Every structure is written in C-alpha cells, then in structure tokens.
Amino acid sequence: MSDIFNRSIKYVKGVGEARARILSRLGIYQVADMVNYFPRDYEDRTVLKKIAELTDGEECMVRARVISGITETRPRRNLTISKAVVSDQTSVLNLTWFNQKYTAQKLRTGSEYYFFGRIKRNGMLLEMHNPVVENIDTQRKATGRILPVYPLTKGLTQNSIRNIAENALDITRGKFAEILPKDLRKKYKLSEVNFSYEQIHFPGSFSDMEAARRRLVFEELLLLQLSLIHLKGESVRENGIEFKPVSMEPLLDKLPFKLTDAQQRVFSEIEKDMESSARMNRLVQGDVGSGKTIVAVMALYKAVKNGFQGAFMAPTEILAEQHYKSVVSYFDGLDVSVRLLTGSMKKREKDEVKELIKEGRADIVIGTHAILEEDTVFFNLGLVITDEQHRFGVRQRARLSAKGENPDLLVMTATPIPRTLSLVLYGDLDVSVIDELPPNRKPVKTYAVTDAMRERVYNFIRKNVNEGRQAYIVCPLVEDSEQIDAESAEGLAERIRDNELAGLRVGLIHGKMKASDKEEVMRSFVERELDVLVSTTVIEVGVNVPNANIMVIENAERFGLAQLHQLRGRVGRGEHQSYCILFNQSKSKISRERMAIMVSTNDGFVISEKDLELRGPGDVFGIRQHGLPEFKIANLYRDMDILKDVQRAVKEITDNNLLGINDEYRALKERLDEICNKKLKELSFN
C-alpha cells in the first residue's frame, strides 16, 4: 500500500491541529482511517422537483429564480433571519435562513440557482429552511448528487467531515492496492477496490454504492474469518469419523408425529456431515419449540448404530435430567442404552456409570459439561451434542482431542443472534436452521399491560392454578445500588406469597443462589410441588415444564426483545393455551413499540431484527460481551448473505491452501499477516 495512507490525518487539506484532535475521537488518526470511516447513511440530492409538487416535511432540490430582494432581520441577539422568494414555472417558494446570512447574501435577484432543503408548509405558504444553494453553471458539490452522512462527534459538522473525506479521497485516488484476487472478485461479484472506496463515500448512484458496500463488507468479513483461522492455527478440515448410512425408520416409526420439512432438511445436512470424512462441526439453530431435540436424538441414533458412543450435554443438571427422560422414551425398545451422569449423583452411582461408559456398555451419556471434564473415559466416543450452549469452542475441542477422541460435534441453540455471531466467531462452523414450527402449535397469547391490571393478572393466575396449571413470574435483575421502581424477585415473592397469591405455593429462584439450591427449586417446580415460580432470568435457558401456561414478566421494558422471546418460549409447550403477560412500567414511546412487537409476533427472527432496529447495533444481544471486534462496515444482520458467501470463499481458500501456494493471493496473505500481528492478538474466543 502506498505510504500516503499512513500519513497523519493533518496531511489532508482542511485538517489542522484542532480538527485532528476532534477526528481522533472518532478513531481517525491517519489518512487510511478517514477513508475507512464509512458513511452510516446517504442523502439523496439528485431528485429535482417542481415547486408545485412539494409536500410538507420532504427534503428535496428545486431549480428556481430569485424574484425578490434579500431581506435580513435580527429579532434578537444571536439570531439573524434572512429571507428570499424564488419561483420556477409552477409556483413560488419562500426561503428562510437562520444565522446563515452569508449564504443568502450570495444570491442575486433575477438569477437561477439550485436549492436543497427541507420543506415546511405554513398555511398557504411553502417554505424551505436553511437551503443549500448552488450556482447552476459551476461544478456542483452539495446538490445534484448523493451525499454521505457520517457518524459525528461534538465539534464536527456533517459538512466539514464531508469535505475532509472528499479531500482524503482526492489524495488517495487510484492508490488503493487490490488485495482480492481477480478470480475471487469475479466469482463473488465484488467490485474493484478503488471504485469501491470512491463509491462508498460519494456514490454516483445507489446501485454503485451497493456494489461498493458489498465488496467492502466481503473484504472485512473475509479478513476477519481468515485471520481467526490463522490465529487458531488449525485447519478448517479436521479428519473425523466416516459414519455409514443407517435406516432411521425404527426410530421414526415410533414417533407420535411426522418430522417437519425443516427438521428433515436439517437432519439430512447432519447426515451428510457425519458420513463425510471431515469432522462435523455444525450449529443447529431453531426457535424455541421448533423440535431440535428429536434431530439430536436422530444423530445419536445414527452414531450408536454405527457402533459409536454419543454424549449429549446440557448447561444445567435439570435440563440434563429432562433430556435424559425424553431420550430414554425415544429409544424405548430400540436396544440403545442411555445413561445419565451429573455432578450431584452419588459417587457410587457415578462410578458405576463411568465404568459402563469405559467398557462401551453405555451407548449414550447425558449430562452437564462435567461429563467431558471429569475423569470420564469413553470406549469410542463418536458424537458430542451440546444444547443451548454457544461456546463449545477451541478449548473444549482441545480437551477432547487430548483424551484421544475426535468426535463429530453438534451444537443446538435457540438464540437467533449467535447464529450469525458464531459464523463469525468460529469461521469453521456450519449452520443449519430449523425455520419452521411443528404444525398445530397454539401460539402463546401475549398481552402488554400496566399496573392497573395487576389485580386481574393475579386473579387470572389463581384461576389457572386452580385448574392445575403453573405460572412463572420473572423479574429483572436489580442491582442493590439501583434506585428504580423495578421489583426485585425477592421482594415480589414475599409480597404475593402473603397477599395477592396467599394460599398458593410460591417458589423463588435467583442468580445469587447456590447452583444446587437453584436446581432444587427448579426440580420442585418441574414436579409440581410449586404453583408459581418467581425468578430472575435464570430460567431463561431451556427448561421444559409443559404444565406451566402463564409467563408474567415484570418491568418488561428492561429486557431485550430477544430475551423476552426466550422467556415466553418457556410456556406454550403443552396442550394448554398459554399466556405471556408483559408488565410495562415505562411510558416511553419506544417501550410501547417494543411491547407491540412482542404482542404481534411469535417469530424469533422478526423479533431480533426489530430489536436491532430499535436499539441500534452495538449492544444488541450483548455483542460486546462476545469480545467481537466492532465492524467498520459489516452488519451481522443485514449482511447474512454476504457472510455465507464469505464462508464459502474461506472454505475454498483453506481447502486448497490458496494462501500458501497461489501467487494471486499473495497480497491477501500479506494483509492477513499484518492484521494478525497487530490487532487480533487481544481477541479472546473462549
């Protein structure tokens, strides 16, 4: 790369000490930082309108003649108002500038100009406020084209950063080095690098901008994924077990239902992985209730019928026990031996199970993560499945490999965002999506209510409990220091136990309790020794209590939409009509909108996407917590398709070792080395 990119930003026309200091707050120190500071949006100043067509509130451009003198008034100190009247053949427009008298003073009565600004209708009068003015016969910069809109910081105007960007592009034009090989660009329809930088900042058209954006997003994601692989120091394609085809009929014949198309498709993807010589490393994403368990069971069946053992891990003991029960019933009569192994079992029982595992007399082991960490020795482990667990990463794989095992890996999750995140985090993970719910599900009825409804809600719970149902009440986590109205789980449980729900069996579970105590409370709820479970979000992950049909969420405005969706997924699991009641204690418009989304849809993907729109990227689903770098241009939601292409490209590159042997890839390789040496060292994955 030409060294102009490494020059200080002060090298760019229009940037002195003061500006440089302001730009540093945006992470812009060098010329390269400026050209890589991408617009967050664009302003279309290409559409020319007739004055007669203008409507209130729209931003637009007109070409018109000044038909009045320019007037100037100073209604108070610090305020100068300039006015002029212009017209085209269709109508008359009043222009008003606030504290911009120099713009107004440039105008000459009788001359024609372009004006761009926002329209305001004032009774019969049409006004444009603070219009941008340009001569009709000189080269236009501020009208007649698409202008970038950059994220700003205090002391920096949109106009000045536009100028700086334009000046930076002037001195770098034609000097961007192409690091993407021609073939790759052709195959994935990626535009050339110089074109892309020009068009992303000052596009000639929106389609050029899209093309530029595609290329830059692709490049960003490609570099990230390749460098992750580079850093992991392992190849994408590890050798695994080649499982043989197995008839699934004995298992499927016993099911009380038919698989959905999505389940079938996902299982055939798993089958293909298992039968290939490469090690399976697949993530199955499916909304709550989409039926992931049976897909896991099918994979286990295939492994067992190939003579291998399978491990199925859950994040909590209670979930492990639930899986154990359902897996045992699925395998009933199929000559498969299933064992449970959890930390809280008696030592003698554990030893017994471990012995069976070691001798290969247990086909399937179900438990918590501990089953891989403890001194469990497998006879021939062929498949490991983790449920609701996004971080079965490098370390765990290393641990398995260290035991001399190289099983296929399958990860199941209901959380929609980690699907994309994990693609990025683990560049080598394949993804399957169960994007269909089993038929005849009764959707959960959702209501957003205020405190005024409290009494009715408690009466409703009491009525359902009397009919034999159970209810959850979830409170947000409340820090002791927080001076807010949010109810703490503890306080609420005490209150309703003594008052509103007196006589019902109310249990409490919260994050500060010991794991074993939590498990104990959960167990009593599962076994219907409790009618109502008050909790913080510890129940978020995967418990299955089909008899529970009410989910009440306190201070729902304090939860992310995706989290609300997960919580709601705890009900609607049995034959009973289920309800989700959201107490919204906020009067803000945005929380009302968010509640409205929850009421209107049960689709996790729609919800997570809306969540992103309302909250903006950044802290959605705690992206930051995942230790991901912030993207300069890629957006994990919108750019899913590009991400998939990138994944394919990464595979081709690594499978064929193109970085090692192909000269066309040398520039890319050099850039990767640079990145790996510099930035990514601090990134932690697990």
Contact status: 293 vs ligand ADP (CB under 6 A)? yes
Cβ proximity to ligand ADP: between 123 and 256 the closer is 256
CB of 286 to ligand ADP, least distance (A): 5
Residue 5's closest CA among 159, 193, 223?
Answer: 193
Cβ proximity to ligand ADP: between 267 and 579 the closer is 267
What is the crossing angle of helices 158-172 and 17-24, to 10°?
100
155/23 Cα distance (integer angstroms): 10
Q: Residue 317, Cβ neighbours under 10 Å: how many? A: 22
Burial environment of residue 598 by CB neighbours within 10 A (0 to 12, 13 to 18, 19 or more): buried
Contact status: 203 vs ligand ADP (CB under 6 A)? no
Q: How many CA atoms lie within 13 A of 277 on its CB side?
A: 1
415/354 Cα distance (integer angstroms): 32
Cβ proximity to ligand ADP: between 314 and 646 the closer is 314
The secondary structure of 293-313, three-state, reads: HHHHHHHHHHHHHCCCEEEEE
Q: Strands 281-286 and 59-66, how do they pair?
A: unpaired
What is the crossing angle of helices 193-201 and 206-232, to 10°?
120
CB of 438 to ligand ADP, least distance (A): 3
Cβ proximity to ligand ADP: between 23 and 298 the closer is 298
Q: Strands 408-413 and 79-87, how do they pair?
A: unpaired
Contact status: 368 vs ligand ADP (CB under 6 A)? no
Residue 58's closest CA among 113, 98, 117?
Answer: 117
Q: Calculate ∠ Cα 627-395-671, nearest 5°.
A: 55
Residues 212-251, one symbol each (x = binds ligand ADP by CB under 6 A, - = not), give ----------------------------------------
Cβ proximity to ligand ADP: between 98 and 257 the closer is 257
Contact status: 292 vs ligand ADP (CB under 6 A)? yes
CB 384 within 8 A of CB 407: yes
Q: Which residues contact 205 (CB under 8 A, 6 or more apart)?
A: 146
Contact status: 285 vs ligand ADP (CB under 6 A)? no
CB of 263 to ligand ADP, least distance (A): 6
Strand order in the sheet with 445-449: 445-449, 579-583, 548-553, 470-474, 532-535, 506-509
Q: Which residues contact 638 (CB under 8 A, 6 or more apart)?
A: none
Q: Return the residues of window 423-462 that contact ligand ADP according to CB under 6 A.
A: 438
Cβ proximity to ligand ADP: between 325 and 632 the closer is 325
Contact status: 294 vs ligand ADP (CB under 6 A)? yes
Contact status: 316 vs ligand ADP (CB under 6 A)? no
Q: Residue 253, Cβ neighbours under 10 Å: how many? A: 7
Cβ proximity to ligand ADP: between 165 and 294 the closer is 294
The H-or-E segment that residue 132 falls in is: strand 125-135
Q: Residue 104, Cβ neighbours under 10 Å: how many? A: 20
Cβ proximity to ligand ADP: between 131 and 569 the closer is 569
- Judged by CB under 6 A, which stretch of 224-232, 273-281, 283-291, 555-563 contacts ligand ADP? 283-291
Contact status: 566 vs ligand ADP (CB under 6 A)? no
Contact status: 291 vs ligand ADP (CB under 6 A)? yes
- Judged by CB under 6 A, which stretch of 253-261, 444-452, 460-468, 675-683 contacts ligand ADP? 253-261
Cβ proximity to ligand ADP: between 161 and 294 the closer is 294
CB 115 within 8 A of CB 62: yes
CB of 258 to ligand ADP, least distance (A): 6
- Judged by CB under 6 A, which stretch of 154-162, 252-260, 310-318, 620-628 contacts ligand ADP? 252-260
CB of 434 to ligand ADP, least distance (A): 7
Burial environment of residue 468 by CB neighbours within 10 A (0 to 12, 13 to 18, 19 or more): exposed
Among 288, 381, 474, 658, binds ligand ADP (CB under 6 A): 288
CB of 424 to ligand ADP, least distance (A): 23
Q: Residue 681, Cβ neighbours under 10 Å: how many? A: 9
Contact status: 415 vs ligand ADP (CB under 6 A)? no
Cβ proximity to ligand ADP: between 252 and 453 the closer is 252
CB of 594 to ligand ADP, least distance (A): 23
Contact status: 343 vs ligand ADP (CB under 6 A)? no
- Judged by CB under 6 A, which stretch of 156-164, 284-292, 458-466, 588-596 contacts ligand ADP? 284-292
CB of 607 to ligand ADP, least distance (A): 16
Burial environment of residue 202 by CB neighbours within 10 A (0 to 12, 13 to 18, 19 or more): buried
Cβ proximity to ligand ADP: between 215 and 292 the closer is 292
Contact status: 416 vs ligand ADP (CB under 6 A)? no
Contact status: 610 vs ligand ADP (CB under 6 A)? no
Cβ proximity to ligand ADP: between 262 and 336 the closer is 262
Name the residue whose CB lies closest to ligand ADP: 291
CB of 647 to ligand ADP, least distance (A): 24
Contact status: 289 vs ligand ADP (CB under 6 A)? yes
Cβ proximity to ligand ADP: between 260 and 432 the closer is 260
CB 631 within 8 A of CB 183: no
Among 227, 263, 535, 555, binds ligand ADP (CB under 6 A): 263
Q: Residue 35, Cβ neighbours under 10 Å: how many? A: 22
Among 36, 199, 225, 260, binds ligand ADP (CB under 6 A): 260
CB of 561 to ligand ADP, least distance (A): 18
- Site for ligand ADP (CB under 6 A): how many residues? 16
Please report, to the nearest 10 degrees, the dihedral formed by the alpha carbons of residues 161, 165, 168, 174 taken in order: 180
Retrieve residue 180's tokens. Answer: 């993407």
Cβ proximity to ligand ADP: between 362 and 433 the closer is 433
Among 178, 257, 373, 648, binds ligand ADP (CB under 6 A): 257
Burial environment of residue 88 by CB neighbours within 10 A (0 to 12, 13 to 18, 19 or more): middle
What is the crossing angle of helices 589-600 and 604-615, to 10°?
170
Q: Which residues contact 93 (CB under 8 A, 6 or more apart)?
A: 51, 54, 62, 64, 85, 86, 87, 115, 126, 127, 128
Cβ proximity to ligand ADP: between 225 and 415 the closer is 415
* β-strand partners of 148: 42
Among 222, 259, 475, 509, binds ligand ADP (CB under 6 A): 259
Q: Return the residues of window 527-546 that contact ligand ADP according to CB under 6 A.
A: 544
Cβ proximity to ligand ADP: between 486 and 571 the closer is 571
CB of 442 to ligand ADP, least distance (A): 12
CB of 366 to ligand ADP, least distance (A): 14
Retrieve residue 568's tokens. Answer: 């709601």
Contact status: 148 vs ligand ADP (CB under 6 A)? no
Cβ proximity to ligand ADP: between 330 and 621 the closer is 330
Residues interacting with ligand ADP, by CB under 6 A? 257-260, 263, 286, 288-294, 414, 438, 544
